[in-house]
Amino acid sequence: MRRAALRLCTLSKGLLAPSRGLTQEPQNPENVFHIREACSPIHVNHVRDKLREIVGASTNWRDHVKAMEERKLLHSFLAKSQKGLPPRTMKDSYIEVFLPLGSQPELREKYLTVQNTVRFGRILEDLDSLGVLICYMHNKIHSAKMSPLSIVTALVDKIDMCKKNLSPEQDIKFSGHVSWVGKTSMEVKMHMFQLHGNDFSPVLDATFVMVARDSENKGPAFVNPLILESPEEEELFQQGELNKGRRVAFSSTSLLKMAPTAEERTAIHEMFLNTLDPKTISFRSRVLPANAVWMENSKLKSLDICHPQERNIFNRIFGGFLMRKAYELGWATACNFGGSRPFIVAVDDIMFQKPVEVGSLLFLSSQVCFTQGNYIQVRVHSEVASLQDKEHMTTNVFHFTFMSEKEVPLVFPKTYGESMLYLDGQRHFKSMSAPVTLKRHYMVEP
């Protein structure tokens, strides 16, 4: 294990520039900046342990109330303004995490699919934990035993896949760092690699947005500012600014706020006309064109009880668990719709709107909202209800882009609401890079 750790250090001594889509691969790590030689990758099983240590969380559910009471005493360590916090570099938050599927076979079963590939839902859980740990490294207070900050995932901005085989029998490495900082929020860049021969090849790039809150997770808290030490780091930071602007622009033109564009309205009307029955002169007589499916017939639903086992370090339900359950339902939806095994291409714009309490009922609803060629755009809506209160509240909306091994049917909306879902799915699909050809050795599944 030590020899493997040293090999990882020599293979990744820097950070990767951002990329987008299956057709691109990350740039050479040496092109950005150099990490200290004495890096030591963390075993994936120790990430959650480190997080519990940082916030003083108990491993026993019965002690969680006492642990959270102790965190109230950390308020005095919170900064009154960002100016009172020491600046940090991107190197300060850089972390490598090792998932030794090859050298420790006993780990495989948790990550294994029946097709002998790696469960992408498990990877989402690991990315979520790593993103939080990276932010704690950026905001580390050496004078305090525990961190006064409660850092939580606010948004999965994007996850882009590369055309690489993901085998359950080869070691995996994650790396990441803080790439942009606001007053109370941070953008985190993460990368995943898998060992092929003697080299680690890129598998995915991920961008998460994290927010800092006070020790009781009740209000915002300031984070350490970021010092930029090279033109490459300035470019990464500027990309973070652009990402923020893009999210604001995307939100301002949301179909929940604004009418569709003229081009979108025309497209929806043409789809409507294509479904009118030519035998009758009626707007109510609708028929499906050839090789098409009504959107309402592409749905799948699930229900989970949120047990204490799935809690995070702040005794709410772990965001990675929510992403895994949503992804697996989305994958099943794409599989059922396309009639063959789908492959994940991109994850886009997952907003964590509300925390999910332990004991909640988690309702997930998934449907295909847009298709093109071999591509399937799936939207998963998440809502919760407590055992005492039957009122449902939306917590997340997930967007997944899958690719099927064969061309899939077109999906047609019937109602105005479904038409808006179609356009929203089309917008998310277009935010992905140019379509690519599926490689059979590219296998990432639930």
pLDDT (0 to 100) of residue 143: 76
DSSP for 271-320, please give it.
HHHHTB-TTS--SS-B-PPTTEEEGGGGEEEEEEE--GGGB-TTSBB-HH
Contact 186, 138 (CB under 8 A): yes
pLDDT (0 to 100) of residue 446: 66
pLDDT at residue 360 is higher than 80: yes
Give the residue, 109 or 35, on which the prediction is more confident: 109
User: Pairing mode, if any, of strands 375-385 and 410-412?
Assistant: unpaired
pLDDT at residue 206 is higher than 70: yes
Rounded-to-integer distance, Cα 334 and Cα 398, Å: 14
Confidence of residue 69 (pLDDT cuts 50, 70, 90): confident
Chain center to CA of 350: 6
Question: Which residue do the tokens 């991107």 mark?
Answer: 90
The whole-number average pLDDT for the span 40-66 is: 83
pLDDT (0 to 100) of residue 283: 72
| b/e map 66-85, b = 16+ CB within 10 Å | ebbeebeebeeebbeeeeee
**Inter-helix orientation angle 47-55/120-138, to 10°:** 40
The whole-number average pLDDT for the span 159-185 is: 90
Contact 131, 176 (CB under 8 A): yes
Chain center to CA of 202: 17
Q: What percentage of the chain carries pLDDT values higher than 70?
A: 87
Confidence of residue 445 (pLDDT cuts 50, 70, 90): low
Rounded-to-integer distance, Cα 243 and Cα 298, Å: 32
The phi and psi torsions of 294 (rounded to 5 degrees) equal -65, 140
